[in-house]
């Protein structure tokens, strides 16, 4: 078992800008960390540096406290599962699993034990004699994960392992990877650009943007308390709504002046003096906006229904508020005909304020309530 540390690790490809900037990250022994971010933000580069497939331009990688910068990938005690898992088409499932072990000189009885154990964990025992073309996509994916398991590594690295699967299989494999972590109790670092995987899989999620970690924490903590507009917009589907405006002080309250409306901010929302001189954006998630026709002045965002997406379990009501489009998530059967006037009342404890220029959070962040 081993944790992973990155100490100011940087990667600049020849002729390119830095793909990963001075990144420091501690992954504890047995922890399950998900790195999430948009395409090109440096996720694969980071994993490949941990695996030893890419050399850091600067900084140090440690596995189990041991610096590994000069250590060959095969001697790092890690196993990586790639997006384009190449399983050998001409070999049976058994041989696909055993191949790497034989090459490493693992004795046949020991290799056989590990192959059968991994197959048992993944529920592919009955498929060991088949060739990959006779497997479903999900079964092939299991074989790819199995090849990592048989190595009994100290650390698993997953690079978007589910992105080739259809939506239903992805959900199923997501659950299995979570159970796998519970069962193996091994350190796992999982990379994805899928925010649902990030929210559901990890004990900790690190949101990456352009080669940097913008925020890291327990998934719900990051969701509830985004440090930046980027994080707020990245986690959540549909994403958080953002309304441009400015802040003003009245005698008793802080007021947000949006385009065509004024909203009194809740008492508990504290903002520094500098925020009053800046263009800002007010952020509120779709599930935190309810329509209340009786809402008092300065407690709501006015608008009109543009269209409704009925999803069966809920509906997404798109509301036009001046030029801004806002989405409000509601109970499936509440009526909201197109054109209907809306008074969208935000849940006061769920509002966020960001600087319009840098996207950094302006209001003091709340603590996530512990039940
Ligand atoms: N071998 C390379 N040579 C030059 N530039 C590279 C190389 N590999 C990656 N890059 C660049 O480094 C940046 C980070 O790439 P990386 O593959 O790490 O992104 P990613 O977050 O994994 O993206 P995706 O979600 O699309 O897989 C990108 O701008 C990419 O073009
Ligand atoms: Mg990648």
Give residue 313 CA to ligand 1 midpoint distance, Å: 38
> Residue 366 has what pLDDT?
67
Single residue among 207, 231, 255 that ends a domain in this structure = 231
Per-residue pLDDT of the chain (371 residues; tens, 9 = 90+): 699 999 999 999 998 889 999 999 999 999 999 999 999 999 999 999 999 999 999 999 999 999 999 999 989 999 999 877 678 999 999 999 999 999 999 999 999 999 999 998 888 999 999 999 999 888 888 899 899 999 889 999 999 988 877 888 788 888 889 998 998 899 999 999 999 999 999 899 999 999 999 999 999 999 999 999 999 999 999 999 999 999 999 888 999 999 999 999 998 888 988 899 899 999 999 999 999 999 999 999 999 999 999 999 999 999 999 889 999 999 999 889 999 999 999 999 899 999 999 999 999 876 555 55
Give residue 36 CA to ligand 2 midpoint distance, Å: 10
> Residue 16 has what pLDDT?
84
Q: Which of 349, 354, 365 is nearest to 267 (CA)?
A: 349
Ligand nearest to the CA of 38: 1
Helix/strand/coil for 114:
helix
> Residue 309 has what pLDDT?
96
Answer whether residue 315 is part of any domain: yes
Please report how the helices 167-184 and 137-149 are oriented relative to each other, as an axis angle in degrees rounded to 10. Answer: 20
Residues 214 and 148 in one domain: yes
> Residue 189 has what pLDDT?
97
Give residue 99 CA to ligand 1 midpoint distance, Å: 30
Residues 326 and 218 in one domain: no
Answer whether residue 371 is part of any domain: no
Residues 211 and 259 in one domain: no
Answer whether residue 360 is part of any domain: no
Residues 278 and 310 in one domain: yes
Residues 187 and 297 in one domain: no
> Residue 168 has what pLDDT?
81
Asked if 366 contacts 225 with a C-beta cutoff of 8 angstroms, the reply is yes
> Residue 172 has what pLDDT?
83
Ligand nearest to the CA of 11: 1
Task: Return d(Cα 209, Cα 219) in angstroms, integer.
Answer: 17
Residues 222 and 261 in one domain: no
- Strands (E) located in 185-339: 187-192, 204-209, 212-217, 241-249, 254-258, 261-264, 280-284, 289-291, 301-310, 314-321, 324-331
CATH number at residue 47: 3.40.50.300
Residues 117 and 142 in one domain: yes
Answer whether residue 362 is part of any domain: no
Protein residue with its CA nearest to atom 3 in ligand 1: 13
How many domains does the chain divide into?
Answer: 2
Ligand nearest to the CA of 193: 1
> Residue 33 has what pLDDT?
97
Give residue 168 CA to ligand 1 midpoint distance, Å: 28
Protein residue with its CA nearest to atom 25 in ligand 1: 39
Answer whether residue 278 is part of any domain: yes
Domain span at residue 198 reads 4-231
Q: Is the CB of 181 under 6 A from ligand 1?
A: no
Give residue 40 CA to ligand 1 midpoint distance, Å: 5
Residues 74 and 201 in one domain: yes
Residues 150 and 242 in one domain: no
> Residue 90 has what pLDDT?
94
Answer whether residue 40 is part of any domain: yes
Single residue among 179, 212, 231 that ends a domain in this structure = 231
Strand order across the beta sheet in which 78-81 lies: 78-81, 155-159, 187-192, 32-36, 204-209, 212-217
Number of residues in the chain? 371
Single residue among 231, 255, 278 that ends a domain in this structure = 231
Residues 172 and 248 in one domain: no
Q: Which of 240, 235, 257 is nearest to 248 (CA)?
A: 257
Task: Return d(Cα 305, Cα 308) in angstroms, integer.
Answer: 8
CATH number at residue 326: 2.40.50.140
> Residue 141 has what pLDDT?
86
Residues 244 and 338 in one domain: yes
Residues 141 and 180 in one domain: yes
Q: Is the CB of 41 under 6 A from ligand 1?
A: yes
Q: Is the CB of 36 under 6 A from ligand 1?
A: no
Q: Is the CB of 39 under 6 A from ligand 1?
A: yes
């Amino acid at each position: 078992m081993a944790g992973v540390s990155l100490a100011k690790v940087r990667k600049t490809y020849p002729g390119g800008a830095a793909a990963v900037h001075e990144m420091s990250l501690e992954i504890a022994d047995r922890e399950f960390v998900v790195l999430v971010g948009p395409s090109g933000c440096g996720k694969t580069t980071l994993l490949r540096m941990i695996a030893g497939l890419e050399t850091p331009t600067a900084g140090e990688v440690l596995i189990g406290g041991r610096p590994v910068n000069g250590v060959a990938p095969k001697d790092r005690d890690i196993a990586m599962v790639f997006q384009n898992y190449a399983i050998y088409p001409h070999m049976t499932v058994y041989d696909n699993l055993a191949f790497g072990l034989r090459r490493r000189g693992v004795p046949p009885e020991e290799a056989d034990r590990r192959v059968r154990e991994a197959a048992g964990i993944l529920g592919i025992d009955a498929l060991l004699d088949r060739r990959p073309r006779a497997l479903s996509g999900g079964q092939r994916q299991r074989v790819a994960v199995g090849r990592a398991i048989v190595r009994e590594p100290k650390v698993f690295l997953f690079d978007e392992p589910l992105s080739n699967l259809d939506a239903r299989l992805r959900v199923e494999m997501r659950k299995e990877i979570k159970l796998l972590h519970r069962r193996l109790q091994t350190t796992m670092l999982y990379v994805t650009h899928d925010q649902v995987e990030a929210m559901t899989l990890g004990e900790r999620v690190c949101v990456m943007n352009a080669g940097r970690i913008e925020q890291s924490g327990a998934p719900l903590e990051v969701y509830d308390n985004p440090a930046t507009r980027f994080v707020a917009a990245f986690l959540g589907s549909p994403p958080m709504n953002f309304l441009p405006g400015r802040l003003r002080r009245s005698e008793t309250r802080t007021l947000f002046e949006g385009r065509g409306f004024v909203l009194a901010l809740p008492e508990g929302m504290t903002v520094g003096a500098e925020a009053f001189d800046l263009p800002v954006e007010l952020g509120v998630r779709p599930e935190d906006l309810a329509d209340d026709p009786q809402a008092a002045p300065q407690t709501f965002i006015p608008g009109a229904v543009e269209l409704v997406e009925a999803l069966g379990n809920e509906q997404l009501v798109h509301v036009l508020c001046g030029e801004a489009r806002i989405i409000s998530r509601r109970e499936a059967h509440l009526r909201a005909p197109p054109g209907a006037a809306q008074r969208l009342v935000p849940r006061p404890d769920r509002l966020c304020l960001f600087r319009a220029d840098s996207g950094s959070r302006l209001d003091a962040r709340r603590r996530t309530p512990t039940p």
